[in-house]
A and B are shown apart, each in its own frame.
Chain A
Amino acid sequence: MPARSYLTGLAFLSPALFVLIGFFFLPVVLTAVFAFTNMSTSTGISGGSYVITGNLLGSLKAQGVAPTVVDALSQASFVVDEQSIAKAQAAGTDAQFLAEIEQQLSGKAFSEERAFERELKSLRYRPRSIRDLKLAVDQFELSVLNTRFASAAEAREAVSELVPSAPADVVDEIVDASYTGWRWTTSNFTRLVSSSDTWRLVGNTIFYVAVTLSFTVFVGLFLAVTTFYLPAGAASAFSMLWLLPRITPVVLYTVMWKWFTWEGGFVYTAAQALGLPAFNYMKGSVPTAWTIVIMVNGFIGAAFAMILFSGALKAIPVQQLWASEADGASRWQQIRFIILPHLRWPILFVVSYQTLSLLSSYQEIWLTTNGGPGRTTTVWALESFNTALNSYTGNLQYGLGAAMALILVIVGVALSILYLRLFRFDELLSRPKIEF
């Protein structure tokens, strides 16, 4: 029986488990895996092959590989031997012509294409058209340049054949460098640590989270307390109005902010009429861009905070408010000494919840300033998204983006643990904080 009841329990839990594994653990695990690779659009996410390109040879030379070897690799040569004749035969070169080549030129090698071509032109059975002749010439070319080798061994063989004098370790180095697929690496992290951009991003992110959070809490408190003192009808109309940022779809909401702040928008027109500087406030200057980013996100958070705070306010026994008035407390003293202490736990909840959600949110910034002007309002999550999934140049760096995302996950988990400890959420959940 116990086994059966466990199975039943598991069956009931399984949808939740699938969702948890599929939509939370798996993405986190994949992010962690990707973070330790150099995957990008150019490497692809499956395996690669070995290709020696002109660019690669250039960089090898710069890295100190012997110039003689590099030059030898970069040069094509034309060799007439059994191998190349067989290759030409397979490619469909005229048999008589081929026999003549074998007879006359066997064992010869040419370092220049033109010399070999001239030699072929002098043969009796040469093809009539230049194009066919060129095709025949191509069959005898021996070169590693831009040739795709499926395995490292093949590439190594080809290189050794072309440059027999190259030492084995140099060959290995060249072959290794010619790999086009992704590989395991920690360079994403070393790159992040050493880059000065990273620290600016960190600074931006901390600034963004701290200021938006303060905005959220203060505006949320202000709205909740003011609606609390309003007559019921006015209060519900007022709070519905302030819920709009929360319930409007993000895209629509940001578009409205654009209408509001762009050239010809409301603020622009108003500023113009008042003789104040009028420009695209969203993208025209750093202070206005930050102000708008903070307000766009802050009002969404404030709507959320307002709901929570309003609920907590309604839970305060009305006699305590009456008592404080009879005790002589002014409105402000009543808020300060009675209402705010009752809101302590909701405030802590909003702070911790919003920290985590602000850290990982980028869509509002992406849709408004898009991190601009320049990269002044770019935060960590937006940069991570752009790096991995939205590169302007077209090379998406999955590995680097995943590394950034992984750091965000780690920071988020660390902060959650800190908040759980600091604010003793277990206590908050187990016992009501408001005593009657």
Chain B
Amino acid sequence: MQIVLKDFTKTFDGNTVIDRMNLTVRDGEMLALLGPSGCGKSTTLFAICGIHRVNGGQILFGERDVSNMPSQQRNVGVVFQNYALYPHMSVFDNIAFPLKVRNDSKADIARDVRTIAELTHIAELLGRRPGQLSGGQQQRVALARALVRKPDVLLLDEPLANLDAKLRLEMRSEIRRIQLETGITAILVTHDQVEAMSMCDRIAIMKGGQILQIDAPKDMYHNPRTSFVAGFLGNPPISFLDGRTMDGRFLDEGTGVTLPLPAGVTVANGTGLTVGIRPEHFGHAGDVPVRGKVVFAETQGRENLYDVALPNGALLRSVQPARDDVRPGDEVSWQLNSAAALFFTEDGRRL
């Protein structure tokens, strides 16, 4: 089901946290709300599920305006960061709870719970208590409970934050598999760009209560609309160099790095610009040689990570296939791929 937020506004004690936000989540799509803490992503999620009341604007589930409905009537499935399982109920009763409170028959409840338990691979745990389950199993129970009554939308609030690294990887693909199998519209709130990029069809990056950009992960990565978006996506992160335009080219006076501006862009001479260079575009292939000193090296097995300090102190990151001929302190001259460089104005907008 398509979810639409129209001019959604939320205030807490007179502070406007989110001001006239607009967002459309397509039917069957999984969308990530990604941003640093305090950006309003959880607030948005809780407003969609009805825990927070809307102070302005509309929330539409399909054609249905749910803005002023309590949670109970919205038909949403929510997975909380700490799972919020009911500790005094068995796994079966936890999953059956949404069906029980709407007075489904016992036979229907048993059938639906079993179906969803098989989908989430917890059929053999139904008799246990939440306290007897591992974190990953609790996560599956929470998912099953959220999905059992076939909600219009599945809302996931930092669902992987409480898991260890290995389980996180496993549950990432599990949640995506279940979402795809059920075809449910889902919204994932996370501060982890890897989760957002690996699990979702589209990502909405938020900052200060505003959506900065909403795009598919790949487009977002290659075509960030602002320097904030460029900096938020990518691990290791993008490096920035400050400079100005000179005869239709970018010149960093401190380091002497000169780059051609993208085709079709005309900027007045002397305009301040920032150029963003992703680590994979500096080091092994390119057209602009840049000299610097390696100040940090990190081996990650398959590839190596280097921080190169330019003469004026600016840092460029480089990620390259593993090699062991470069050590911290070495002077290097590596190629920079100018075609992949991203140019931003001083206020952060992409050229």
Q: Which residues of A contact B (CB under 8 A)?
A: 317, 319-320, 322-330, 333, 337-338, 341-342, 344, 434-436
Contact = CB atoms under 8 A, between A and B. Distances in A.
A330 B50 CA distance: 14
A325 B101 contact: no
Contacts of B81: 319
Contacts of B39: none
Nearest to B97: A327
Contacts of A328: 71-72, 75, 98, 101-102, 149
B131 A323 contact: no
Nearest to B51: A322
Overall SS of chain A's interface? helix
Contact of B72 (A330, A338, A435): A330
14 contacts: A319-B81, A320-B85, A322-B80, A322-B84, A323-B78, A324-B86, A324-B101, A326-B77, A327-B101, A329-B97, A337-B86, A337-B100, A341-B88, A435-B87
A144 B248 CA distance: 142
A325 B50 contact: yes
Contact of A325 (B71, B89, B130, B131): B71
B97 A319 contact: no
A288 to B, nearest CB: 41
Contact of A326 (B71, B82, B131): B71
Contacts of B80: 319, 322-323
A29 to B, nearest CB: 44
Nearest to B80: A319
B101 A319 contact: no
B100 to A, nearest CB: 8
B145 interface: yes
B51 A325 contact: yes
Given A319-B82, A337-B97, A435-B130, A326 B87 contact: no
Of all A-B residue pairs in the complex, the 7 with the closest CB atoms, nearest first, are A319-B84, A435-B87, A323-B84, A327-B98, A325-B71, A341-B88, A326-B78
Contact of A317 (B77, B84, B102): B84
Contacts of A337: 86, 97, 100-101
Contacts of B51: 322, 325-326
A310 to B, nearest CB: 19
Contacts of A326: 49-51, 71-72, 74, 76-78, 146
Contacts of B75: 328
B70 interface: yes
A331 to B, nearest CB: 9
A22 to B, nearest CB: 44
B87 A434 contact: yes
B351 to A, nearest CB: 44
B330 to A, nearest CB: 51
Given A325-B50, A326-B77, A328-B98, A317 B88 contact: no
A329 B86 contact: no
A320 B84 contact: yes
Nearest to B49: A326
A338 B46 CA distance: 20
Interface of B: 46, 49-51, 70-72, 74-78, 80-82, 84-89, 97-98, 100-102, 130-131, 145-146, 149
B163 to A, nearest CB: 16
A330 B98 CA distance: 11
A341 B70 CA distance: 24
A344 B86 CA distance: 14
B266 to A, nearest CB: 53
Nearest to B157: A319
Contact of B86 (A322, A325, A330, A338): A338
Contacts of A436: 82, 87
Given A326-B71, A328-B75, A337-B101, 7 more contacts: A322-B51, A323-B80, A326-B77, A327-B97, A327-B98, A337-B97, A341-B86
A333 B101 contact: yes
B45 to A, nearest CB: 11
B342 to A, nearest CB: 40
A329 B74 CA distance: 12
Nearest to A327: B98
B16 to A, nearest CB: 21
Contacts of A329: 72, 97, 101
Most buried by B among A317, A327, A328: A327
Contacts of B97: 324, 327, 329, 337
Contacts of A333: 101
Nearest to A332: B101
Nearest to A320: B84
A185 to B, nearest CB: 54
Contacts of A338: 86
Most buried by B among A330, A337, A342: A337
A178 to B, nearest CB: 70
Nearest to B73: A328
A344 B89 CA distance: 13
Contacts of B82: 317, 319, 436
A319 B98 CA distance: 15
B281 to A, nearest CB: 43
B47 to A, nearest CB: 12
Contacts of A323: 78, 80, 84, 86, 145
A325 B70 contact: yes
A330 B87 contact: no
A388 to B, nearest CB: 47
A344 B88 CA distance: 10
Contacts of B85: 320
B49 A320 contact: no
Contacts of B149: 327-328
Nearest to A331: B72
A338 B146 CA distance: 17
A319 B74 CA distance: 17
A337 B80 CA distance: 19
A39 to B, nearest CB: 54
Most buried by A among B97, B100, B102: B97
B139 to A, nearest CB: 14
Contacts of A325: 50-51, 70-72
A344 B98 CA distance: 22
Contacts of A344: 88
